[in-house]
């Protein structure tokens, strides 16, 4: 056998090699496919969660110069604070790890019980590990006179509903 022949035999794809390759390829790709499918399976397409647009009662429910915690929707209704007369809606979900900060009237600030973040009247972080300010939600008065809030729509801290 000449040198050239040896080379050729080595690189030659025999029938056996061909089937071996495709056999393994088939097994591995079907495993990989099922794995990907299982991962996708874990992401639900339909969620039965509370809506992100909701009504929270009439402006008259919230007295002037007050901060009211609305338990079910996880937000505070702020009226007449920080020199802004109207009604403003701020999230009550701490931007750090999601605990509910408490409004401390005496200090005019929110304090989070979990890791001690403090938010001032503008929602800005003044102490603690929270990375972002509390977001203000867009809200308008619906035709039935109730406040309607969209918790996906963030606005500036001076956005208000005039009353």
Partner 1 sequence: MKMNRLWELLTNNRFYKSIFRHGYPDDEIKRSEVVTGNLFLHIQPVKVHKNTIRTGYTLGLGLISFYLFIILTVTGVLLMFYYIPSIERAYNDMKDLEFAVSFGIIFRNLHRWGAHGMVAFVFLHMCRVFFTGGYKSPREFNWGIGVILLILTLFLSLTGYLLPWDQLAFWAITIVANLIGTTPPEKIMGASLRQVVLGGTIVGQNALIRFYVMHVVVLPLVAAALIGVHFWRIRKDGGISRPAEE
Partner 2 sequence: MDKKEETVIFPKNPNKTYGLMELTKTKSFQIEKGPDNTVTSWPHLLFRELILFMGVFIALMIISMVFNAPLEEQANPSNTPNPAKAPWYFLGLQEMLAWAHPFWGGIFVPTVVTIILILTPYFDTSQKGVGVWFAPERRIANLLFTIFIVLAVGLIVVGEFFRGPNWQIFWPWNMPSPH
Q: Binding of partner 2 at residue 107 (CB under 8 A)?
A: no
Rounded Cα distance, 104 and 30, in Å: 58
Comparing CB distances to partner 2, the nearer of 33 and 116 is 116
Cβ contact 153:138 at 8 Å: yes
- Taking every pair of Cα atoms in the chain, the longest distance, rounded to a whole number of angstroms, is 101
Rounded Cα distance, 22 and 27, in Å: 8
Comparing CB distances to ligand FES, the nearer of 36 and 127 is 127
Binding track over 128-147 against ligand FES, x by CB under 6 A: xxx-----------------
Cβ contact 152:52 at 8 Å: yes
Q: Binding of partner 1 at residue 12 (CB under 8 A)?
A: no
Cβ contact 124:95 at 8 Å: no
Selected from 66, 68, 86, 99, the binder of partner 1 by CB under 8 A is 99
Binding site for partner 2 (CB under 8 A): 69, 71-72, 74, 92, 96-97, 99-100, 102, 111-116, 128-129, 131
């Amino acid at each position: 056998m000449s040198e050239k022949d040896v080379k050729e035999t080595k690189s030659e794809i025999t029938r056996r090699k061909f089937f071996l390759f495709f056999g393994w390829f088939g097994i591995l790709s079907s495993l990989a496919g099922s794995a990907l499918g299982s991962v996708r399976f874990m992401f639900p397409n339909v969620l039965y969660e509370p809506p992100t647009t909701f009504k929270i009662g009439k402006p008259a429910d919230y007295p002037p110069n007050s901060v009211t915690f609305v338990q079910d929707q996880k937000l505070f209704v702020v009226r007449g604070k920080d020199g802004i007369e109207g009604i403003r809606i701020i999230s009550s979900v701490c931007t750090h790890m999601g605990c509910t900060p408490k409004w401390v009237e005496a200090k005019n600030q929110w304090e989070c019980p979990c890791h001690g973040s403090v938010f001032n009247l503008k929602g800005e972080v003044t102490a603690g590990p929270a990375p972002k300010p509390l977001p203000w939600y867009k809200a308008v008065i619906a035709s039935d006179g109730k406040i309607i809030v969209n918790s996906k729509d963030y606005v500036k801290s001076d956005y208000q509903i005039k009353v």
